[in-house]
Amino acid sequence: MLGHERSITQIKYNREGDLLFSVAKDTSGEILKKAKEHTKQINDIQTSVDLTMFISASKDNTAKLFDSTSLDHIKTFKTERPVNSAAISPIMDHVVMGGGQEAMEVTTTSTRIGKFEARFFHAAYEEEFGRVKGHFGPINCVAFHPDGKSYSSGGEDGYVRIHYFDPQYFDFELEA
């Protein structure tokens, strides 16, 4: 089996534990299956709690949901800025995404324009239903707590923020 020639940025196992997905800055590894849905660099890959799906975050301003076995593209979540990280809720049909304007451009932009919010989308309808502010620079990583009652975000500003959901969050239903 061939290895990567450049740095590896992400690795994840499939549900059965017999496949390891890797994202690298090259294409020298042995390719078993291929999905080319993003047009720019992939910054993050995270799996669903049952490992049947994964979500990718990209500099192309999207996060995309895939089937872990077939690599079929299921949904696309679009923003106006690069997406650095995305996660799938373990208990709700929701995804959270973080990103924002590139760090090198932040000093010339206000935090309002930089879009430094965590953004919530309904996983089935691809509709954005909420934003959470708090970082003073791009969000580099997001993760749901395993119990689904909170999420965390880490940003270019050097802070990790833990956000606990209000009880109303769990009653929320997006109108179709």
Mean pLDDT, range 65-71, rounded to an integer: 91
Q: 125 phi and psi, to 5 degrees? A: -95, -10
Burial of 59 (0-12, 13-18, 19+ CB in 10 A): middle
pLDDT of 96 > 80? The answer is yes
Q: Specify the amino acid at residue 2.
A: L
Residue 77 confidence (pLDDT) above 90: yes
Confidence class of residue 121 from pLDDT cuts 50, 70 and 90? very high
Residue 100 has pLDDT above 90, yes or no: no
Give 55's contacts (C-beta < 8 A, 6+ positions apart): 45, 46, 48, 63, 64, 65, 66, 86, 87, 88, 95
Question: What are the two backbone dihedrals, phi and then psi, of residue 171, each rounded to the nearest 5 degrees?
Answer: -95, -10
Q: Which two tokens stand for residue 86?
A: 């995305």
Tell me how far apart the 2 most distant CA atoms of the chain are, in Å. 50
What global pTM score does this model have?
0.79
Strand order across the 94-99 sheet: 83-88, 94-99, 118-122, 128-132
Please state which of the ranges 133-137, 149-153, 171-175 shows the lowest mean pLDDT: 171-175
Q: What is the pLDDT of residue 157?
A: 86
3-state secondary structure of 78: strand
User: What integer pLDDT is reported at residue 166 of this predicted model?
Assistant: 95
